[in-house]
Amino acid sequence: MKSNLDNIDFKMAAEEEKQLRHDVMAHVHTFGHCCPKAAAIIHLGATSCYVGDNTDLIILRNAFDLLLPKLARVISRLADFAKERASLPTLGFTHFQAFIITGQTYTRKVDIEVLSVLASLGASVHKICTDIRLLANLKEMEEPFEKQQIGSSAMPYKRNPMRSERCCSLARHLMTLIVDPLQTASVQWFERTLDDSANRRICLAEAFLTADTILNTLQNISEGLVVYPKVIERRIRQELPFMATENIIMAMVKAGGNRQDCHEKIRVLSQQAAAVVKQEGGDNDLIERIQADAYFSPIHSQLDRLLDPSSFTGRASQQVQRFLEEEVYPLLKPYESVMKVKAELCL
């Protein structure tokens, strides 16, 4: 595999992608053709995003490696220019800027940085509350719902996640406010123009007021989230056979099978099982199909273990604990004195 890293048959990969309609698997098959002895284990335990996302991160890093030297040269040239002419008398400006030499007026780039943080908060909150809304639709989780609360005027059974809906709505508004300071900073004449003040009075205040409302609402949601383990368990049972396919493939490879051959076998059986679920309204019978297929006989005795839900969580619980201890709790420490304040909403 190492000796063939740069031996890429792009023509074959293109033909494979036409047939498979999957870019990563097209290259997996092409790489296997170049490395027949390794074909059975290529992509073992991996996913397309494992390949694609890591590649994207490498490309992004390399792209910054290209941009940063150019930015450094621009800054260097301007620094040389400033040093050369530092003693040249010019007409002065009462609102002169730069961070460490600010006079009367701070640079409007500060507003961009402030609203960038708040806009980023809006994006995070929108993502969190969208996930809560989706999980509520699946009945796995719900936001707080008052005893007399009405979810819908037309449909009495509904329990609309209106707090999360409100957070998403306001978060979209918060995200759009970053455009104002970007435009304001870009059109300042020398030090500033006086057309910035009316805009800033609106967008800065609105951003903080909107963020305040969003955080109050999200705190209220997070203090009363309800989880339904039985619903989660039922949905896991329905999807577990499909989820287990990668573990089954890895077990087959350990038993001497070929990863790509096993992937194809599982793909065919999975499509058949999916047809039963989608077209006939039946139960997922993928495991029964695997048990009936002699090809998988080497791992038939392992199926119960491979289908244990706890075997899919890996280090998740330890990762949560480590993240809390190393990232979250240290950030919360300066705010210990206000942690007990409850969020009261007037909805």
| Catalytic annotation, residues | 95, 152
Instruction: Write out the two tokens for 242.
Output: 């499909």
For the chain, counts of helices (H) and of strands (E)? 14, 2
DSSP state at residue 327: I
* 3-state SS class at 223: coil
Which residues, including other chains, have CB under 8 Å from residue 248's CB and lie 6 or more apart?
262, 266, 290, 296, 299, 303, 306
CB 12 within 8 A of CB 33: yes
- Do the strands 141-142 and 226-227 form a parallel or antiparallel pair, or are they unpaired? antiparallel
Instruction: Write out the two tokens for 306.
Output: 């491979």
Cα separation, 93 vs 186, in Å, equals 18
Here the contacts of 5-14 (C-beta below 8 Å, separation 24 or greater) are 7/34, 9/33, 9/34
CA dihedral 147, 148, 153, 159 (to 10 degrees): -10
